[in-house]
Amino acid sequence: MSGEVLKLLLRSEGRRRLLMEIAREKVITTSELVRRTGLRRQTVNEYVKEFEEAGLVAVKKTQKPWIVIASEDLEYLLLSLPVATAKRVELVYPCGWKGFPECLFKHGRLEVAFIWGARGLSVAKAHDAVGVPELVTSLVFKALDSGVPREGISVVSALDVEAAARREVLEKDLIVIGSGLVNLLTAKIIELLRPPIRFEPPMSRELLSDLTETLYSASDEVRRNAALLALLPNPWARDRVAVIVAGVFKHGTRAAIKALEKHVRTGFIEDHAAGVPLRVVKATPEGDFEGFFE
């Protein structure tokens, strides 16, 4: 499966609903797709053109409404891709910050996957990895100190478009780096869970807190230094966690990684009000951890 197809499938719930209907019927008109999905006709036509360019459908445009024909591979692609077919999940926090990272070791193992954004199918930028080697080292030492055997430790990494097609990666404990603007898996997790602090819309850099009714905007000279540090359930594995480490800008992401590494060593992060394990990190312009906005 090409990265471009994956990117289409991950981009929005509307696109996935549309593809599901096309795959189910094999041949369907755009008018019927509008009726079934509730999307605007212009939106349906735009998405269908995207699908045609990606080779997912053929379109007969000699009559109106258009007739959309599913490719032979479309149903297989949808059934085999766990991210594309995932449904919204009830938000039940797996543990609080006081229980992290020990909650990663409850199976007597450490099996964690770091997920980077492919950024429009180019290689993830190096600045998103600053601080990650130190974080991995601290996690491994903490696991060993907690009695996890050396052979029970597995740390892997993948781009979002790679992880989306590999259930064996998605079903690990996840550390997802970067906002939904650069990491499609961040956007998908936020779409499925709708946490009270989130990027809104999911594929953006605008960070919204329902807890304090605050918008951390890229245009705000102070709040642009914010980053989300979220301890969430893994939507693809009920007994696993997904940690989102994502800034409005790159220096926020870097500071959040540093905060997470410090927490693994010292356990200094506390939950937000009412036991919600979501925090908004405050970064310096150089990418150092300065504290918390909330």
Would the pLDDT of 110 be above 80? Answer: yes
Residue scoring higher pLDDT (184 or 270): 270
Whole-prediction pTM value? 0.80
Residue scoring higher pLDDT (216 or 73): 216
Nearest CA to 248 out of 277, 218, 219 is that of 218
Q: Which of 33-37, 53-57, 189-193, 197-201 has the lowest mean pLDDT?
A: 53-57
Q: Which of 104-108, 208-212, 228-232, 268-272 has the lowest mean pLDDT?
A: 104-108
Alpha helix stretches (DSSP H) within the chain: 3-11, 13-25, 30-37, 41-53, 74-80, 82-85, 132-145, 160-163, 167-170, 184-193, 250-266
Domains and CATH numbers, the chain: 3-85 (1.10.10.10), 97-292 (3.30.379.10)
The per-residue pLDDT for 277 is: 98
Would the pLDDT of 80 be above 80? Answer: no
The per-residue pLDDT for 122 is: 38
Q: Which of 79-83, 216-220, 268-272 has the lowest mean pLDDT?
A: 79-83
Dump pLDDT digits (tens) for 28-48. 999 999 998 899 999 999 999
Q: How confident is the prediction for the chain on average, in pLDDT?
A: 89
The per-residue pLDDT for 72 is: 79
Q: Say how far apart CA 175 and CA 259 lie, in whole Å.
A: 14
Helix, strand, coil % (nearest 5) of the chain?
40, 25, 35
